[in-house]
Amino acid sequence: MPVKDDRIIINVVGMHCSVCALNIENALKRSPGVKEARVNFAAEQAFIRFDPEKTSADILRQIIEKAGYKTISGSGAQSLEQENKARRKELENLKSRFIIAFIFSLALMYVSMAEGMAPPAAAAFIRGNQALLQFLLATPVIICGYSFFTRGLAVLIKRGAANMDTLVSLGVGSAYLYSLILSLGMWTKAMPGGGHMFYYETAAFLITFIIFGKYLEAKAKSRASEAIKKLIRLRPDTALVYRDGMEKDIPADEVIIGDIVVIKPGQRIPVDGIVIEGYSGVDESMVTGESIPVEKTPGREVIAGTIARSGSFKFEAIKIGENTMLARIIELVRQAQGSKAPIQGLADKVTAYFVPAVFIIAVIALSFWLIAGKEFIFSLSIFISVLIIACPCALGLATPTAIMVGTGIGAEKGILIKNAASLQLAYQVDTVIFDKTGTLTKGQPRVTDVLGYGRAEEEILQLAGSVEKNSEHPLAEAVLESCRQRNIDLIPAGDFISIAGKGVLARLGADHVLLGNWHLMEKKNIDIPLKMRNDAERLQAEGKTVMFVVKNNKPVGVIAVGDTLKEHAVPAISALKRSGKKVIMLTGDNRRTAQAIAGNLGADEVFAEVLPEDKAGKIKDLQSKGRKVAMVGDGINDAPALAQADVGIALGTGTDIAIESADIVLVKDDLRDVVMALDLSRYAMRKIKQNLFWAFFYNLIGIPIAAGILYPFNGFLLNPMIAGMAMAFSSVSVVSNSLLMKNYRRPV
């Protein structure tokens, strides 16, 4: 029997560039039992799929910690609190280190420029003790940046790998050690020296700029993950339940299925359930994106994390813990934010070789200028600039930060994008197929016409209702509801047979009754009279679904059923067409009825008379012609089509099977969210491309300039401190560009 894979998300603390993420990934992938490992530098999380018989969550955490990083255990709110505590501690630490480094660096600048700034007596003292003063002021700054050296050199020595910290430690370390050697030479009288020969100031300001950049980056990354933090905070810590004849306040985790939960105005709902008593207007905006409170009366469902704005009520808990809608949404968002888009593959490949390549370029540049006859101090400056200006972080942050913000925006608006690949594929969609019943229409058809042809309407409805009593089709419910409204007694049916996509037949006493569409009539060789045929065609032209009632092989009546379009169906389709998408309606209805409805909607094309098992085939045909197809559906029979489509979009009001099969889930029953999902994908991909362009452009231009490529032409040589500033702000600019996505506005 195959072993079911386990999945775990581990929060990781201590990653400082995308190379760190790759190092952790490689360490995990080498571990027995690990089938898949993805480490997201921006989200600071490891997503692992593993064989529980060969490894465990504890072992996986140990692997990450042996690689030199810390992990945060726990789940849900507990994990969030620990994560937030670690992030706050990191920010406070970076802030303190920056302030100290900045103060000492300013003092160091004053000392190095004392000739033009200090009073004569002070200048003379500084000039005579230049080496000692610069050493004493630079060393505390180097100590503030000790982690760059410990991490950078440790990973190089222990694992033969390298990361951004390695580049920083080599660049800054070279400047500091060179200056220290000069100082020792002066103190021991082994060599003469002067303040202009020292690189203490460069080393100090490099560390200061880099610490400041890391502080800004950490703040920006924290903002990128705000959406999921908001979702986790929605669930209250306690719940008021009715037990043993009295109300008890208990931890929300202790609520069990069947508990009666009491909700008062202003309180958050702790678990999913069904209202059994009372009334309230519930704010579901943080879960569904819908700003207008939803009325909750007995029989209505309530969702964990939503807020009762007015009125008190009691409800029965039906879903708790990880099974609540809120928990499922959080899990979907976390998975999406940790996944990798195909477009990220190039950046990952470049990042894997980035640090060794930069080091080689730095050594080549140093050697070239020495051979060209330049003094060592000139060549060393270039060596340091190349090491410092290179920034793999910008490459590593370009895609995941945009994905985190994009999927977070979607979640806040009630659009759950399951993974980064779906976000990218949605951008490429050029054809959108909508299932009709329950997707474009309300899925609550009603009988609009009953034609008897010499028989009473009640008799026709009685025959149809008696046959449909055992059917679960939406049209059957419409017929049965019409029978109930007219108080028509039904006849017990036997030998019931349902013919998918065509109709039903059964035995009513001694009579055999058939109820179905044109195809069923043709299949059973039923001859439809001209008058009945003309009436049926007229009703179909009005967009109604027609069913023929046949008793003992003789057509006796026609029943027409109509299903109203959803409120936002027409504007959604109009918006899709304006954006250049081809819109197709898919239905099992006969062609005449389907074309009438499609005409009302404004769809470009209609696939009519399609059996449930043939829906996926229609999509496959379009894909074979090079179309990128999105399928929008809600029912069980839509699941194969949702899976076949390049992007499956399921309505959250639909079945669990449809939701599991889809790539994007719309929590609200609002078709305008289809437009927004595709538009959000386009917007996110635009940001990703901007980020990648900037990251590649920055490194492709910055590294050659730092190597001195412009010097022979115009004498320009990049100061290592400017290189440090550029590196510090490159990754910040990428994250900031992603954060600008928060200004996104829905298109319709």
- Is residue 435 annotated as part of the catalytic site, yes or no? yes
Q: Are 632 and 435 in contact (CB under 8 A)?
A: yes
Is 230 a domain residue? no
Does residue 689 sit in the same domain as residue 594?
no
Side chain identity, residue 383: F
Q: How far apart are CA 316 and CA 260, in angstroms?
A: 5
Rounded to whole angstroms, the Cα distance separating 318 from 274 reads 7
The burial class, CB within 10 Å (0-12 / 13-18 / 19+), for 82 is middle
Q: What is the pLDDT of residue 633?
A: 87
The DSSP result for 135-188, as a single string, is HHHHHHHHHHTHHHHHHHHHHHHHHS---HHHHHHHHHHHHHHHHHHHHHHHHT
End-to-end Cα, the chain, rounded Å: 50
In angstroms, the CA 168 to CA 145 distance is: 10
In a domain, 725, yes or no: yes
Looking at residue 192, its pLDDT comes to: 56
The C-alpha atoms of residue 663 and residue 665 are separated, in whole angstroms, by 7
Q: What angle do CA 722, 726, 730 make, to 5 degrees?
A: 175
**Of the residues 165, 283, 435, 563, which is catalytic?**
435
3-state secondary structure at position 56: coil
In a domain, 14, yes or no: yes
Instruction: Tell whether 531 and 638 lie within a shared domain.
Output: no
Q: Is 316 exposed, middle or buried (0-12, 13-18, 19+ CB in 10 A)?
A: middle
Q: Please give the Cα distance from 431 to 435 (Å, whole number).
A: 13
Domain boundary among 194, 219, 244: 219
Helix runs in 579-710, H state only: 591-601, 615-624, 639-644, 656-661, 672-706
Q: What pLDDT is stored for residue 1 in this prediction?
A: 43
Query: Are 173 and 298 part of one and the same domain?
Result: no
Strands 238-243 vs 246-251: parallel, antiparallel or unpaired: antiparallel
- Which of 507, 538, 562 represents a domain boundary (last residue)? 562
Q: Return the closest-CA partner of residue 732 out of 209, 354, 172, 166.
A: 209
* The two structure tokens encoding residue 701: 């231009």
Q: Is there a single domain that holds both residue 411 and residue 431?
A: no
Examine residue 225 and state whether it is found in any structural domain, yes or no: no
Residue 726: what pLDDT?
Answer: 83
CATH number of the CATH domain containing 658? 3.40.50.1000
Q: Please check whether residues 98 and 175 belong to one and the same domain.
A: yes
Does residue 229 form part of some domain?
Answer: no
- Please state, as a whole number, how many other Cβ atoms lie within 10 Å of the Cβ of residue 252: 20
Contact between 449 and 539 (Cβ < 8 Å):
yes
Task: Please name the helix (run of DSSP H) or strand (run of DSSP E) that holds residue 571, with its range, or none.
Answer: helix 569-578
Which residues are CB-contacts of 403 (< 8 A; sequence separation ≥ 6)? 336, 337, 339, 341, 420, 423, 684, 688
Task: Kindly report the CATH number assigned to the domain that includes residue 309.
Answer: 2.70.150.10
- Which residue type occupies 616? A
Task: Give the list of residues 6+ apart from residue 413 with CB closer than 8 angstroms, or none.
Answer: 289, 673, 676, 746
- List C-alpha distances in Å: 438 to 443, 465, 598, 637, 654: 4, 22, 15, 12, 8
The whole-number pLDDT of residue 548 equals 94
Residue 254 shares a structural domain with residue 244: yes
Where would I find the beta strands (DSSP E) of 472-627? 494-499, 503-508, 511-516, 545-551, 554-562, 582-586, 605-607
Q: How many C-beta atoms lie closer than 10 Å to residue 318's C-beta?
A: 16
Comparing C-alpha atoms, which of 528, 545, 635, 665 is closest to residue 594? 545
CATH code, 50: 3.30.70.100
Are residues 108 and 189 located together in one domain of the fold?
A: yes
CA distance 1 to 620: 32
Indicate if the alpha-carbon torsion angle 17, 19, 21, 24 is positive or negative: negative
Q: What is the DSSP letter of 669?
A: S
Structure tokens at 690: 């901007």
Tokens of 352: 């894997």
Q: Are 535 and 558 in contact (CB under 8 A)?
A: yes
Beta strands in 474-523 (DSSP E): 494-499, 503-508, 511-516
- Check whether residue 635 and residue 657 sit in a common domain: yes
Compute the Cα dihedral for 46, 52, 54, 57 and give only its sign.
Answer: positive
* Residue 78 sits in the same domain as residue 176: yes
Q: Which pLDDT does position 401 carry in this prediction?
A: 84
Q: What are phi and psi of 316, to 5 degrees?
A: -95, 130
Residue 36 lies in a domain: yes
> 283: domain range?
236-319
User: What gap in Å lies between CA 529 and CA 662, rounded to an integer?
Assistant: 45
Kindly state whether residue 627 falls inside one of the protein's structural domains.
Answer: yes
Residues 22, 39 contacting (CB under 8 angstroms): yes
Same domain, 402 and 483: no
355 lies in the same domain as 258 = no
275: enclosing H helix or E strand: strand 272-278
Kindly list the averaged pLDDT for each block of 10 residues, start to end, along the chain of length 748.
71 78 87 89 84 90 86 62 75 92 90 67 71 91 89 74 78 86 79 62 86 81 71 83 88 91 92 93 77 85 89 92 82 75 78 84 94 90 88 78 87 86 91 90 85 90 89 81 91 86 86 89 90 91 88 92 86 94 89 84 90 86 94 80 90 64 84 94 92 88 92 88 80 86 83
- At residue 635, the pLDDT reads 64
Q: Which two tokens stand for residue 514?
A: 């058939």
CB 141 within 8 A of CB 105: yes
Give the residue carrying structure tokens 């090079």.
626
Task: Yes or no: say if 624 and 602 are a contact pair by the CB < 8 Å rule.
Answer: no
CATH number at residue 509: 3.40.1110.10
Q: What's the structural domain count of the chain?
A: 6
Helix axes 18-29, 392-412, angle to 10 degrees: 80
> Among 278, 304, 319, which residue terminates a domain?
319
CA 657 – CA 643 distance, rounded (Å)? 11
Cα–Cα distance measured from residue 668 to residue 415, given in angstroms and rounded to the nearest whole number: 8
Write the DSSP assignment of 379-420 as a string of letters: HHHHHHHHHHH--HHHHHHHHHHHHHHHHHHHHHTTEEE--H
* Residue 224 maps to a domain: no
- Are 657 and 557 members of one domain? no
Q: What is the phi/psi pair of residue 507, to 5°? A: -105, 125
Q: Work out the number of other CB atoms within 10 angstroms of the CB of residue 598.
A: 26
Q: Which residues pair with 507 in a beta bridge?
A: 494, 512
3-state helix, strand, coil in the chain (%, to 5): 55, 20, 25
Task: Return the pLDDT at 647.
Answer: 93
Both tokens of residue 35? Answer: 């089938």
